[in-house]
Amino acid sequence: MIKNKFRVITSSFAALAVAAGTLVIADEHGPLHEAMEKVNKVNNAINKAVRTPVAYKKDAKAVTENSKELVKLAKVTVDGVAEAKKVKGVKGDPEAQWKTLAADFLKTSEELAKVAEKEDHAATKNAHQAVKKSCSGCHEVFRVEDEK
Ligand code: HEC
């Protein structure tokens, strides 16, 4: 009973958010959504590890691994164009924009993976900043609320 009530509340809240135009959901269970959940986890782990030189020293190897994972996920994102076309409220041509934005995500991730192998904190942090810019660049057009 309580559980049911909760569901009603959350679903009407989601509807409200969509109506307000602040939230855009593609396919809740689609490969893009799944990829984004993983992207978020990997990105958060990198965030934490590059925050300070001390943290980085401990986790440099993990950053390299996570960056490689991010490259794989960026490739899934590039392939998510069909789902991206279902996103509502996008100004302009969704397909063309997706191609550009996803390609930028892939390029910056590949650069990060390359730089991370050298285990230089400042350079890795910089390369990661470029990746994060590509996240928000895409979310701006496809209107996903950024979690960072
Ligand atoms: C090319 C476009 C694009 C790029 C680049 C991109 N995203 Fe997304 N992201 C989306 C879209 C579209 C959604 C909404 C799809 C969905 O979750 O159903 C989304 C959803 C999300 C969500 C919400 C997922 C959830 O659990 O509801 C998070 C978190 C997220 N992205 C994080 C990131 C991070 C972090 C990066 C960069 C490392 C990134 N995204 C890069 C397009 C992109």
Helix H, strand E, coil C: the string for 24-53 is CCCCCCCHHHHHHHHHHHHHHHHHHHHCCH
Q: Which atom of ligand 1 is nearest to the CA of 30?
A: 18
Q: pLDDT digit string (tens) for 82-124? A: 998 888 889 899 999 999 999 999 999 999 999 999 999 999 9
Domain 27-142, second-level architecture: Up-down Bundle (1.20)
The pTM assigned to this predicted structure is 0.84
pLDDT computed for residue 30 by the predictor: 82
Does any ligand 1 atom lie closer than 6 A to the CB of residue 144? yes
Q: What is the pLDDT of residue 98?
A: 97
Per-residue model confidence (pLDDT) at position 31: 86
- Candidates 71, 136, 65, 67; CA nearest to 106 is 71
Rounded to the nearest angstrom, the distance between the alpha carbon of 81 and the centre of ligand 1 is 13
Helices (H), 51-93: 53-78, 81-84
